[in-house]
Chains A and B, each alone.
Chain A
Amino acid sequence: MTTEDFYWALIDLANGLMTGATLGGYYALISVGLALTFGVMKLVNLSHGDWLIVAAYLAVVILGLYPVSPFWVLLPLVPMMFVIGYVLQRGLLNRVSTFAVERRGLSPIMAMMLPLLITFGISTVLSQALQLVFSTNAQTIRNDYSFSAIALSQDLSISTLRLGFLVLAAVLIGALALFIQRTHIGRAIRATSDDAEIAALMGMRTAHVYGVASGLSLMFAAFAGFMIGMSRSFQPFDGPPYLLTAFGVVVIGGLGSLGGCFLGGIVLGITQVLAGTYFGPAAQQLAGYLLILLVLAARPQGLFKR
């Protein structure tokens, strides 16, 4: 091996690690909402991926009406998605939650199946509705950052947008963790997820607490959907693959753990990019799924859950 070969091998590795890590930030943001609803309500939300796409379309619509710099769209988009999440939970999902179904005296199988069926139904309705309104043409959020990169050396650079999203993911997930740790409603979210009956004895209204948790979940879907729209094109039926990725991240990081979500995203990102670098693009997805299988087999509680 010549010195030059060695240099390029190092550059490949550094590039792989950096690109992987920034891709991980992107993955983490996609997954937080899923981790949150699972962690708090034991709700496996099969429509999670579709909500990301809904958020991306909403961003395009708002920017179509008010052509401002794309980042401003978060200002209306994030609270809008929070409200949708809250209303959806109170109006529909609370009625089929495991807790509610068991209380109604239905069998545990129903308690497990009903939320899955309902959220699967929501997924179908959302993607069909998006197709009806927007047709299947690919959309994107137009911006000037798509191809911009920060050069670290002559042969090493990092996508500005991806780096921004990694920072955004870290800040947002940190803020969410603080919110859940320190505020009254955050404490109520933790209490209700631990023991809903006792939480009610403390004056906590389960239906409201679940509503807030779902609102937060879709709030993060708003950030993630915006990020998807900024960095690539999307179509009405793009939701499910994102759901799969989010599942992977949640499995790797540990079910329902927020910090695990962030680290899990980064591990998955780095694994995929390195596999792509050394074994070709086809290996990228395969390596990701192999990692997920490996974690499920060897450490089902996730890599980062104590």
Chain B
Amino acid sequence: MGKPLSILSLQGICAYYGELQALFDIDLDLTQGDILALIGANGAGKSTLLRTLTGLTTVGGKTRLTGRMAFEGQPIESLPPERIVEMGIALVPEGRRLFSRMSVEDNLLCGAYLPIWRQGARRKLDEIYALFPRLAERRRQIVTQMSGGEQQMVAIGRALMTSPRLLLLDEVSLGLSPAAVEELYGNLQRLRNELTIIVVEQDLQRAMGFAGRAAVMLEGRVVLANDISKLSREEITTAYFGGSGHASPQTKMPVQGVH
């Protein structure tokens, strides 16, 4: 067996929204095939981290990024989102954010926009329909007329159309019925062997079952990261609530309106 290939490496990543710092000094390494669960309370910085990985915090003057970020050895910290997706990182955003006036198939085809992807778009579509058979039956339907679970399948399918090697899933089960979540994760199981995945998931049980590694975030920092097999549930919950002895986060929340 060869040395596992590093797919993603973050060094000292800090992200700012104007004066407000959202990420503090994040270090993270993923090797090919890793499934990482990103765990943390609301506002812990999980979504910001995923947005940062896709270049959404590098664009524009209001958001700012420092530190180093490499994907398959290539630096990506200064690339815009449309370049990063081309390199092979795709995000399924929180709240799905489908193109609301389009059909299922048009939404999926949006994922095959770049000329390099257009060639194989048909074959790729068939793969998505094989992964989510429900979508095949409804390919002409406008997405807003579908259930939450089906919409989530479209969102994941759309990201897969960009032929990613690293897939970022942000709260894919949010607002779905337990049955829909069950079905969705059942479908996702089949991606485990093909992709490196970072999943943000509120349901701790579900996250631990799906992922091989976990990183706990608290107030913009990664406070605990390890293989799930080496982590106890207590360790995770303590880190989650910030009560552990781990690198107790020195919060530097900007105080507004106080002089």
Contacts and interface: CB of A to CB of B under 8 A. Distances in A.
A68 B33 CA distance: 67
Nearest to A208: B82
A198 B110 CA distance: 10
B148 interface: no
A201 B90 contact: yes
Contacts, number: 73
Nearest to A204: B113
A202 to B, nearest CB: 5
Contacts of A201: 54, 56, 81-82, 85, 90-91, 93
Contact of B162 (A194, A203, A205): A203
Nearest to A181: B106
Interface in A190-209: 190-191, 194-195, 197-205
Contacts of B80: 200
B215 interface: no
A105 interface: yes
Interface in B97-112: 97, 99-102, 106, 109-111
A194 B113 contact: no
Contacts of A205: 82
B121 to A, nearest CB: 9
Contacts of B158: 202
Interface in A173-225: 184, 187-188, 190-191, 194-195, 197-205
Interface stretch (B38-46, B57-65, B68-76, B179-187): B57-65
B81 A187 contact: no
Nearest to B86: A203
B110 A202 contact: yes
B97 A198 contact: yes
Contacts of B54: 201
B62 A105 contact: yes
Interface in B15-61: 18, 54-56, 59-61
A206 B114 CA distance: 13
A188 B109 CA distance: 10
Interface size class of A (residues with CB under 8 A): 10 to 19
B139 interface: no
Contact of A187 (B61, B100, B110): B110
B138 interface: no
A104 interface: yes
B70 to A, nearest CB: 20
B97 A195 contact: yes
Nearest to A105: B62
A105 B81 contact: no
A105 B18 contact: yes
Interface string B107-128: 0011101100110000000000
Contacts of A184: 109, 113, 118
A103 B59 CA distance: 8
A201 B86 CA distance: 9
Contacts of B162: 202-203
A178 to B, nearest CB: 14
A200 B84 CA distance: 10
B99 A195 contact: yes
A305 to B, nearest CB: 11
Nearest to A103: B60
Contact of A194 (B59, B85, B101): B101
A197 B81 CA distance: 9
Given A200-B81, A203-B82, A204-B82, A188 B99 contact: no
A181 to B, nearest CB: 8
B102 A190 contact: yes
Nearest to B56: A197
A97 B18 CA distance: 20
Contact of B110 (A103, A104, A197, A199): A199
Contacts of A187: 102, 106, 109-110, 113
A198 B93 contact: yes
Contact of A202 (B56, B59, B113): B113
Interface centre among A104, A184, A203, A204, by most chain B C-beta atoms within 10 angstroms, is A203
B113 A198 contact: no
Contacts of B117: 203
A183 B133 CA distance: 26
Contacts of B59: 103, 200
18 contacts: A103-B59, A104-B62, A105-B18, A105-B61, A187-B102, A188-B110, A194-B99, A194-B100, A197-B81, A198-B99, A199-B110, A201-B93, A202-B113, A202-B158, A203-B117, A204-B82, A204-B110, A204-B113
The 4 closest A-B pairs by CB, nearest first: A103-B60, A105-B62, A200-B81, A203-B114
Interface of B: 18, 54-56, 59-62, 80-82, 85-86, 90-91, 93, 97, 99-102, 106, 109-111, 113-114, 117-118, 158, 162
Given A105-B62, A187-B109, A197-B56, 11 more contacts: A103-B62, A105-B60, A184-B118, A191-B110, A195-B97, A198-B93, A198-B97, A201-B54, A201-B91, A202-B158, A203-B86
